[in-house]
Structure 1
Amino acid sequence: MSDSSSEHSPATPDSEKLKLSTKLAYGAGDVGAAITANIGVFYTAYFLTDVAGIAAGLATWILLIGKVWDAVNDPVVGVLSDRTNSPRWGRRLPWMLYGAIPFGITFFLQWLVPRFSANDSANQWGLFWYYIVISILFNSFYTAVNLPYTALTPELTQDYNERTNLNSYRFAFSIGGSIVSVIVFGIIAALIPNDRIQQYLVMGVVCAILSVLPIYWCIWGTRDRILARAAQNPTFEQPVSLPILQQVRIVLSNRPFLYVVGIYLCSWLAVQVTAAIIPYFVLSWMRLSDAVVAQVILAVQGTALLMLFIWSKLSQRYGKKAVYFMGMSVWIIAQAGLFFLQPGQIAFMYVLAVMAGFGVSTAYLIPWSMLPDVIELDELKTGQRREGIFYSFMVFLQKVSLAVAVALVLKSLEWNQYIRSTPENLAPIQPDSALLAIRIAIGPLPTIALICGLILAYFYPLTREVHADILLKLKERKLKAQ
């Protein structure tokens, strides 16, 4: 399982070491994406069905269309950011600079519940098209900000271990942002206990502001490092000129990249299907309150945050694959256990949530630490750096797969006669068919995905030694070109 031992670790050049201020600024760049994504994945489905009052079938299409568009625009932004060439800001930062404010505004607009007609049926369709349009706009700006941000990792450092450490800062901020979003929502829910429409409106305003400001910290805190490395390595900022279809063929012929995509897909399929179904599971199966939903999410995310730096240190000693196996093994036990959890077993529910946090932490850290290594292999083969296209295709495949999976889970609730809550009945008794669908979505489905991810991780070929050899060859090529 281990992909190296510490005694084989290559020396890290001083130029590849990152300042603490740079790591903190880089990490801050993921706060906005984390807050909006966390609120989205945990609350959007429930908001659409039980707050806005949209039928589950229509809500399924809103989620599916928004996420498919979110996936489709990823390769477009990836290629365009690869081709961007700003002497003042580089390739990635202009996208973040100009996209941040529209990103915040469109996030807020998702949580309004406008009234289009006194006729309930006509109003349903008015809400449907409103959320479709806003979802497309928000996901466009989300991609414009977040995808160039994720592609910054290989431009900040080439060192194998430093990248894992850098990503631990990124995901510490990411999970921290997720936790903040849950706390904010919990406080707002406590202050406005009986008006869910007002709760979501206030949450939208507060979280939009909290999401936009850290993006500018990231821009100003990483700019000097990015431009300095670009000056030392001109290929980092050289626009990629190959036609997009040829780039796609090159990307899909990179076997280690396909393994990384598979590992990432399996991990995040488990994360997002579970996240989407948690409110239904806690409220309908466990028969607990809205406050408990937030507490369960905090138990998972809090544990994941605490484990990030521990996993990062263990990765330096034992390798990325070994750490992934450690976290996933605990997570599989927890995920499978949720299916057998019974109402009243509240303490056991929190234990399983903490155990899941061990694995969720590695799902954040390991695939994103592997991807920059894959990009260097591509550079060795082609002579060009194309971070944007690799990151965009990874996110594209993830979003399409997860959109379909989450939509099917939501559709299964409709097929199994799920009863929406109303202001008069906030916690309706669900039929056995709906309860079984909820339990399957939170237990067996994610467990199968995690097992598939373990199998793919076992065969992942880029060890620390292989990566060191890639960097050595790239360095030799650079010296010959001088």
Structure 2
Amino acid sequence: MEQNVRPFGLRDKAGYMFGDFGNDFTFILSSMFLLKFYTDVMGVPAGVVGIMMMAARVVDAVTDVAMGQIVDRTKPTERGKFVIWIRRMCGPVAVASFLMYASWFAHMPLGFKIFWMFFTYILWGSVCYTGINIPYGSMASAISGNPSDRAQLSNWRTIGASLAGTVIGVVMPLVVYYQDENGNNVLSGTRMMIAALVCSIGAVICYLICYAMTTERVKVEQTTSQFRVSELLSGIVHNRALIGIIVSSICMILAQMTLTNMTTYLFPNFYGNIRAQSLSGLAGTVITLICASFTVPLSAKLGRKELGIAAALFGAAVLFVTNFLKLQNAYVFVVFYTFAYVGIAIFSLITWAMITDVIDDAQVHDGRRSDGTIYSVYSFARKVGQAASSGVAGLLLSIIGYSQATAFEPSVVNGIYHITCLAPAVGFVLLALSLAFLYPLDRKKVQENARILVEKENEAK
């Protein structure tokens, strides 16, 4: 923003990391436990939960674009244009997340529980989470204009998500389950509610750290032109890079969230082993941190697109083999899960840098920066992927006959195993295909766009 601002460095990277730490305290919580909470604690059919998650995306189609426009039209302050929204929205998103896990309504009529589920999920995901996630994601392009710096921000963002995933995936399975009189591991509504409260408090703390530590350096002017839906749709249709990253991200989240969603059923129901579930969460974090150590230099050498394709094909191959072997030992499954997670980790580490590449590409073509609008469309796509994964998981669970009464029957738990392996494997294959044939920004094109924008900036001085 100002000429004497401190240079980009570790403080920005750590601060940006805490932002996604806060995001995923509520996002990963809902991805891993919301379906399980409503089927096992609230007694709502899995298919209804899946339909609710997909139906909420209709609301997101409006709120995501609206928030993108609000962000683009926000007048820059001394702190910047994007970071101010983190302070404004951190409280509402935390409260809305907590309300989704209202175990005190477990004995209410089914109709009321479905209403509460719809109301709180839309309040959290379509309104509050949108209000903080879109400016947070858009902020990356304002923290630095250097593609290498943005790649590092993408890396650190994924590390933040992994830390939240560690808390939720490793610690929570050990505290939110109890054994019933038959020795089955059952989710506790009260413990889940308390865990959600702790996650909400943690989210607020992380958001405030992000607000305090990050600095916007690239001045992004306030958008004043009239918004036209037709122009937005036309821009999306004619932006091949945006279409490519949207489709790719939907496929990646379908793979990632279906895998993590289903582990909350696989380990307690198929294996009867909660400790292995906790270990799988830790394994995902460890493999992400290992991949973070080499992903930035490797993507600089090979290209982000090219690296993403290789990672997706590797993940798919591991899961197809895992399904074929029908592993009976929970800890052996964790080993295969860890290798499959390499595909998720690598694409997650590069995907946020890829969206800034898309923003740059759009600026090269039309001469305008629309960080908030483009990121809002991308954010909507990620929510579609999340809903699709939960919806697919919910519908597939309904197809195999899963309910509170049948949760531990042999045919049902065998079906859980196959869903856990095959659904994310298909997502990986679709991810590789979409990157190969839809996404045009290979290493050479990204470098060319960066050179053009630097030349334009120098000419404007």
Give the structure-1-normalised TM-score: 0.86
Cα drift, residue 439 of structure 1: 3.5
Paired letter, 1:157: S
Q: Given the alignment of the two structures, is residue 419 of structure 1 paired with residue 403 of structure 2, yes or no?
A: yes
Query: Residues 145 and 218 of structure 2 are in contact (CA less than 8 Å); yes or no, is this contact kept in structure 1?
Result: no
Q: Given the alignment of the two structures, is residue 429 of structure 1 paired with residue 415 of structure 2, yes or no?
A: no
Give ranges in structure 2 of 5+ residues lacking alignment.
180-184
Q: Given the alignment of the two structures, is residue 399 of structure 1 paired with residue 421 of structure 2, yes or no?
A: no
Paired letter, 1:56: A
Equivalents in 2 of 1:200, 1:240: separation in Å?
Answer: 45
Q: Given the alignment of the two structures, is residue 57 of structure 1 paired with residue 29 of structure 2, yes or no?
A: no
Equivalents in 2 of 1:49, 1:191: separation in Å?
Answer: 16
Equivalents in 1 of 2:195, 2:306: separation in Å?
Answer: 39
Change (3 A) 1:156 1:480: same
Cα drift, residue 89 of structure 1: 3.6
Query: Residues 83 and 91 of structure 1 are in contact (CA less than 8 Å); yes or no, is this contact kept in structure 2?
Result: no
Q: Given the alignment of the two structures, is residue 44 of structure 1 paired with residue 34 of structure 2, yes or no?
A: yes
Cα drift, residue 400 of structure 1: 2.5
Change (3 A) 1:436 1:76: farther
Paired letter, 1:251: I
- Report SS of the residue matched to 2:225: coil
Equivalents in 2 of 1:66, 1:165: separation in Å?
Answer: 33
Partner of 1:101: 91
Q: Given the alignment of the two structures, is residue 88 of structure 1 paired with residue 78 of structure 2, yes or no?
A: yes
Query: Residues 26 and 97 of structure 2 are in contact (CA less than 8 Å); yes or no, is this contact kept in structure 1?
Result: yes
Change (3 A) 1:358 1:405: closer
Partner of 2:435: 457
Counterpart selection for 2:419 from 429, 441, 460: 441
Paired letter, 2:165: S
Q: Given the alignment of the two structures, is residue 378 of structure 1 paired with residue 370 of structure 2, yes or no?
A: no
Paired letter, 2:392: L
Give the structure-2-normalised TM-score: 0.89
How many residue pairs match? The answer is 450
Partner of 1:11: none
- Report SS of the residue matched to 1:91: coil
Written as runs of structure 1 = structure 2, the 5 A alignment for 1:293-442 is 293-342=277-326, 344-420=328-404, 428-430=407-409, 432=411, 434-435=412-413, 437-442=415-420
Cα drift, residue 207 of structure 1: 0.7
Equivalents in 2 of 1:474, 1:84: separation in Å?
Answer: 23
Change (3 A) 1:352 1:402: same
Cα drift, residue 31 of structure 1: 0.7
Equivalents in 2 of 1:61, 1:106: separation in Å?
Answer: 20
Q: Could you list the structure 1 runs, at least 4 aligned residues long, displaced by more than 6 angstroms after superposition.
A: 14-17, 190-195
Equivalents in 2 of 1:190, 1:401: separation in Å?
Answer: 28
Partner of 2:115: 129
Partner of 2:182: none
Equivalents in 2 of 1:308, 1:478: separation in Å?
Answer: 31
Deviations 1:123-146 (A, max 9, x none): 111111112111111111111111
Equivalents in 2 of 1:55, 1:275: separation in Å?
Answer: 20
- Report SS of the residue matched to 1:457: helix
Equivalents in 2 of 1:68, 1:430: separation in Å?
Answer: 36
Query: Residues 97 and 124 of structure 2 are in contact (CA less than 8 Å); yes or no, is this contact kept in structure 1?
Result: yes
Partner of 1:175: 162
Q: Given the alignment of the two structures, is residue 261 of structure 1 paired with residue 250 of structure 2, yes or no?
A: no
Paired letter, 1:290: I
Query: Residues 332 and 447 of structure 1 are in contact (CA less than 8 Å); yes or no, is this contact kept in structure 2?
Result: yes
Cα drift, residue 343 of structure 1: 5.4
Counting aligned pairs with the same residue, the percent is 21
Partner of 2:16: 26
Equivalents in 1 of 2:227, 2:370: separation in Å?
Answer: 12
Q: Given the alignment of the two structures, is residue 205 of structure 1 paired with residue 197 of structure 2, yes or no?
A: yes
Paired letter, 2:124: F
Deviations 1:351-385 (A, max 9, x none): 11110221111121222211111211211222211
Cα drift, residue 116 of structure 1: 7.9
Change (3 A) 1:241 1:16: farther
Deviations 1:452-478 (A, max 9, x none): 222232343323332333233333334
Change (3 A) 1:240 1:451: farther
Give ranges in structure 1 of 5+ residues lacking alignment.
1-13, 231-235, 422-426
Equivalents in 2 of 1:116, 1:204: separation in Å?
Answer: 16
- Report SS of the residue matched to 2:141: helix
Paired letter, 2:112: G
Deviations 1:423-444 (A, max 9, x none): xxxx843252x34543442223
